[in-house]
């Protein structure tokens, strides 16, 4: 009987520990334009940071006329949580975006700062299939960014 109690205790402890490790993840899809002309799709996910109260962001975007996704290093302003700095992998451009309700608005800036293009993105709802598609895509892109 003591063995059964020990096994049950272990199983219960295992589930409690695993549930404590689960991160809440929220994902967002935005569609809009850069420079009012170039259609873009932008995907961002936010996860709880196990080491602080700040969220961890992962994001990517693509020009709609291209199949290539561009990974972004994403930082949220600590003083103004509605502001984000997004640096393209390889520093091919930078976005400074401000979240206003269901919009992200700001600038895309070239590395030499000679081009500063207005960026406007509107949040759109996603189906379960779309969420799975974007999650798979961002996971692959992050893996390639780290290991390739």
pLDDT category of residue 13 using cuts at 50, 70 and 90: very low
- Dmax over CA atoms of the chain, in Å, equals 75
pLDDT category of residue 113 using cuts at 50, 70 and 90: very high
**For the residues 30-57, what does the mean pLDDT come to?**
88
> What is the CA angle 101-104-110, rounded to 5?
165
pLDDT at 4 over 80: no
Burial class (CB in 10 A: 0-12, 13-18, 19+), 60: buried
Average pLDDT, the chain: 84
Domain spans, the chain: 24-147
Give tens-digit pLDDT for 86-105: 999 888 999 999 999 999 99
Q: In which region does residue 111 sit, left (phi positive, over 0), alpha (psi from -120 to 50) or beta (all else)?
A: alpha
Q: Does the structural domain 24-147 have CATH classification 3.50.40.10? A: no
Question: What's the rounded Cα separation, in Å, for the pair 35 and 33?
Answer: 6
């Amino acid at each position: 009987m003591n063995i059964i109690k020990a096994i049950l205790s272990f199983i219960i402890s295992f589930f409690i520990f695993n549930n404590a490790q689960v991160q809440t993840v929220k994902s967002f899809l935005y569609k809009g334009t850069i420079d009012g002309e170039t259609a873009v799709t932008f995907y961002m996910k936010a996860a709880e940071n196990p080491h602080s109260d700040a969220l961890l962001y992962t994001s990517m975007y693509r020009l709609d006329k291209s199949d290539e996704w561009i990974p972004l290093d994403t930082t949220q302003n600590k003083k103004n949580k509605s502001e984000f700095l997004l640096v393209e992998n390889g520093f091919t451009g930078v976005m400074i975006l401000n979240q206003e309700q269901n919009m992200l608005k700001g600038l895309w800036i070239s590395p030499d700062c000679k081009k500063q293009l207005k960026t406007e993105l509107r949040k759109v709802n996603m189906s379960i299939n779309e969420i799975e598609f974007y999650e798979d895509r961002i996971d692959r892109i992050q893996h390639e960014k780290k290991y390739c």
